[in-house]
Amino acid sequence: MKNYVIGIDLGGTKISSALSDLEGNIVAKYTVPTDAFEGEAPVLGRIIESVEAVVVDGKITINEVKAIGIGSPGPLDAKEGIIITTPNLPFKNFNLVRPLKEKFNVPVYLDNDANVATIGEFMFGAGKGTENMIFFTVSTGVGGGAILNGKIYRGSTSNALEIGHSTVASETGMRCNCGNVGCLEAVSSGTAIARRAREAVLTNVETSLKKYDTVTSYEVFVESAAGDKVATEIRDLALNYLGIGVANAIAIFDPDMVVIGGGVSKAGQVVFDKVQEVVNQRCFKSMAQHCKIVEAGLGTDAGVVGAVALALLESK
């Protein structure tokens, strides 16, 4: 009987794998450094090693595995199982699915990490029980995913919900890494918050942020909570634009819930209060009142639990 699935969270730093039963209960876990600098073949070898390790740890055989799900940074072609390119991994137009299928004789499903986290939150996290859910992850960058009518929405090139690259602030002139001006990622990510804080520290403005050797978004939220005016301005600007991004998503998709994860979501209730305030100002009242805006529930396990959820969803 095929009573198990395997989820693999493929990251630039580490590869995390989990063996799960068909209810989503984790039976075994395994983590190994990615060591991406070694190239495609060694990283593929470590993915294979991860699958074999959780099978052994779970005291089962590969014949009992129904499917393998993999979450990876994009862009990628989910339909063909190809990682097109990504900054922190060695793969270039690399078919990751085929060699794993051939090795293990098990269906293998690949999706981008934001979609995988979305599926995880929908099946096992904050979005459990919803039918239409939008997921935002706000940390180094801003990513997202959508569950529409109970199914993940990928779009025609598997790259839907690149919500971090929707334009919310073209008037600021802040350029995003993608080359566009005013992307949500360029104004609301943890990276953007930290950049503005460091710029402020280098001026003559009075701010308690100057007491830190290194300023990240974490220090901005800490000093804002303590009453620092500059930190509060930086925080509120970022959260205002995040609110605009969320309001746009609600206006387009009319979801039951918007789930916000990533490092910035850990800064406390102020994030959700500010986003809700902007949504109330900008959305139709009926939509704003219907849609709950909540913190993600899976935390640091979002990637690997999401990969498990992808395997479960696709192998139904």
Q: Could you tell me if 122 and 145 are in contact, meaning their C-beta atoms sit under 8 angstroms apart?
A: no
Beta strands 26-33; 257-261: pairing state: unpaired
**Distance between CA atoms of residues 207 and 220, nearest Å:** 10
Contact between 131 and 150 under an 8 Å Cβ cutoff? The reply is yes
| pLDDT the model gives residue 285 | 95
Q: Which parts of 3-96 are beta strand (E)?
A: 4-10, 14-21, 26-33, 65-72, 76-77, 82-85, 92-95
Distance CA 218, CA 214 (A): 10
pLDDT at res. 176: 87
pTM for the model: 0.89
Over the stretch 258-293, which tens digit does the pLDDT of each residue have? 999 988 998 999 999 999 999 999 999 999 999 999
Residues 79-134 have pLDDT tens digits of 899 999 887 788 889 999 999 999 999 999 999 888 999 999 999 999 999 999 99
Across the chain, what does the average pLDDT equal?
93
Q: What is the pLDDT of residue 175?
A: 87
- How far lies 210's CA from each of 42, 223, 235, in Å? 44, 10, 16
162-211, pLDDT tens digit by residue?
Answer: 999 999 988 777 888 888 888 999 999 999 999 999 999 999 999 999 99
Give the rounded percent of residues in the chain with a pLDDT score beyond 90: 79
Evaluate if residue 243 carries a pLDDT over 90.
yes
Which of helix, strand or coil describes residue 250?
Answer: helix
Q: Which residue carries 């993940």 as its tokens?
A: 152
- Count of positions (residues) in the chain: 316
Give residue 160's pLDDT. Answer: 87
- Average pLDDT for 4-31: 95
The Cα 4–Cα 19 span in angstroms is 7
* The pLDDT of residue 73: 86
Measured CA distances, 131 to 42, 257, 291, 292 (Å): 40, 9, 12, 13
Mean pLDDT (whole number) for 71-76: 87
The closest of 316, 260, 252, 259 to 284, measured between CA atoms, is 252
pLDDT recorded at residue 301: 83
Q: Using CA atoms, how far apart are residues 153 and 16, in angstroms rounded to an integer?
A: 25
The pLDDT score that the predictor gives to residue 177 is 81
In sequence order, what are the beta bridge partners of 52? none
Tokens of residue 203, six digits: 């001026």
Q: Using CB atoms within 10 Å of the CB of residue 213, give its burial: 0 to 12 exposed, 13 to 18 middle, 19+ buried.
A: exposed
